[in-house]
Amino acid sequence: MSIKRVGILTAGGLAPCLSSAIGALIEAYTEQAPEIEIVCYRSGYKGLLLGDSFVVDDHSRKNAAILHQHGGSPIGNSRVKLTNVADCVKRGLVSEGQDPLQVAAERLQSDEVDVLHTIGGDDTNTTAADLAAYLAKHEYQLTVVGLPKTIDNDVIPIKQSLGAWTAAEEGAKFFENVVGEHNANPRMLIVHEVMGRNCGWLTAATAAKYRERLQTLNFLPEMGLSQERRDVHGVFVPEMSFDLEEEAKRLRAIMDEIDCVNIFISEGAGVDTIVKEMESRGESVPKDAFGHYKLDAVNPGKWFGKQFADMLGAEKTLVQKSGYFSRAAAANADDIALIGRCAKKAVECAMRGIGGVVGEDEDQNNELRAIEFERIAGGKPFDINVDWFGDLLSQMGQPKGEVLETSH
């Protein structure tokens, strides 16, 4: 396949891999095929619909490594679902009567893009597959090669999503400061709400990373500086059931003994229960363009904090969310290495005309390959039976509940 021009876009929420992934793709093309022109679409599918793009010049190609030092996405993101016509019209991205999918596809054709690299989650990449299918029907060949971005680490069947390791580490750093609030008030309850709508991997990994970092510090209990007061005392994820009253009894005993309790909660934990409670009061729960409940409106951290505060006899409750702190960070060394491997494979696949989402395929012995779009899906649940999570719960004295199916 003869390639003259490739396009890159990032979409969805931020993750600590976007800037680095853009840089890694530019580096890989500059190394393997410097003659190929690279075009970046600003603000994801919004830029594609509006024709807002720029060509990566020689100076940028030579200095692409700088992108590894930064978080966010230098070319911009947006949450645009091409099949949600009403939303695209409302936002002025297409005119009344236009099909966003057709507009985007025709833009790629007019821009003479041969390969489109999409860096995003399952919605981003499967939408790109729809674009390729549309163009194929109109006898225009486009190869779409995506990279999996999600801090939730919940893309089926990908072993490790880009940016998730960094997000866990950054969430741990975030809590290292927040936990100091435990001595600002007697009987203090601190709730750390971690991103993860349907998947608890990030919450569990953040707690594990935080406790790992805690082990490297020195303490002086005689002065009130104890490891126990800075520890994690409970972790609650969407995939695991638990008895609220029994957990409250366990945590109350900890509160009575050390005068504080610190818990980690996934932002998606208990959403169905909370939504039912809100609707029973006649409240309308808003949804986003993808049909998901807006978690800022549901606010699980606040809800759990209130439930536990009453049962633990807490004098003060502090709810802190690490999501925006974590997701906009620069990729760490482990993620940069993974991103580099995936970017090189993505360029290899593009040169051979092989589409798909590049990642370690759990169904094929974790081989790094372009996974077929029809096999890509979101909402991969966290396996609460993995050894490291069992060890985490055991060390905290928290019983492991039954596996729950997540559906929201």
In whole angstroms, what is the distance from residue 230 CA to residue 220 CA?
A: 12
Do 185 and 243 lie in a common domain?
Answer: yes
Together in a domain, 138 and 182: no
Task: Please count the structural domains in the chain.
Answer: 2
- pLDDT at residue 301 is higher than 90: no
- Report pLDDT for 172: 98
Position 51 in a domain: yes
Question: 45: domain CATH number?
Answer: 3.40.50.450
The whole-number average pLDDT for the span 332-336 is: 98
Does the pLDDT at position 228 exceed 80?
Answer: yes
pLDDT at 276: 59
Do 90 and 216 lie in one domain? The reply is no
196 is in an annotated binding site: yes
Q: Are residues 233 and 187 in the same domain?
A: yes
How is residue 276 written in tokens? 């039912």
135 shares a domain with 86? yes
Is residue 157 helix, strand or coil?
Answer: coil
| Span of 129-138, 217-226, 286-295 with lowest mean pLDDT | 286-295
What average pLDDT does range 275-286 have in this prediction?
A: 62
Lowest pLDDT segment from 32-41, 43-52, 290-299: 290-299
182: helix, strand or coil: helix
**Neighbouring C-beta atoms of residue 46, cutoff 10 Å:** 21
Query: What is the CATH classification number for the domain harbouring 313?
Result: 3.40.50.460
Q: How far apart are CA 132 and CA 117, in angstroms?
A: 12
- Please state, for a pLDDT cut of 90, what percent of the chain lies above it: 75
Catalytic residue numbers, as ranges: 152
| Residue 408 pLDDT class (50, 70, 90 cuts) | very low
User: CB count, 10 Å around CB of 309?
Assistant: 19
- The answer to whether 327 is annotated as binding is yes
Residue 346 and residue 306 share a domain: no
pLDDT at 225: 95
The pTM is what? 0.91
Of the given ranges (8-17, 135-144, 206-215), which has the lowest mean pLDDT? Answer: 135-144
Q: What pLDDT was estimated at residue 199?
A: 92
26 known ligand binder: no
Q: Per residue in 281-294, pLDDT tens? A: 666 666 665 566 66
Query: How confident is the model over 274-280, as a mean pLDDT?
Result: 61
**Per-residue pLDDT for 322 more than 60?**
yes
CB neighbours of 87 closer than 8 A, spacing ≥ 6?
80, 81, 289
86 and 147 assigned to the same domain: yes
Count CB-CB contacts under 10 A for residue 137: 9
122 is in an annotated binding site: yes
> What pLDDT sits at residue 407?
46
Q: Chain-centre distance of CA 112, in angstroms? A: 31
* 78 belongs to an annotated ligand binding site: no
Q: Which domain holds residue 155?
A: 5-161+331-375
CA dihedral 24, 30, 35, 36 (to 10 degrees): 0
- Checking if the pLDDT of 126 tops 90, the result is no
Residue 404 pLDDT grade (very low, low, confident, very high; cuts 50, 70, 90): confident
118 belongs to a structural domain: yes
Q: Does residue 191 form part of some domain?
A: yes
Is residue 291 a known part of a binding site? no
Interstrand relation of 115-120 and 53-55 (parallel, antiparallel or unpaired) = unpaired
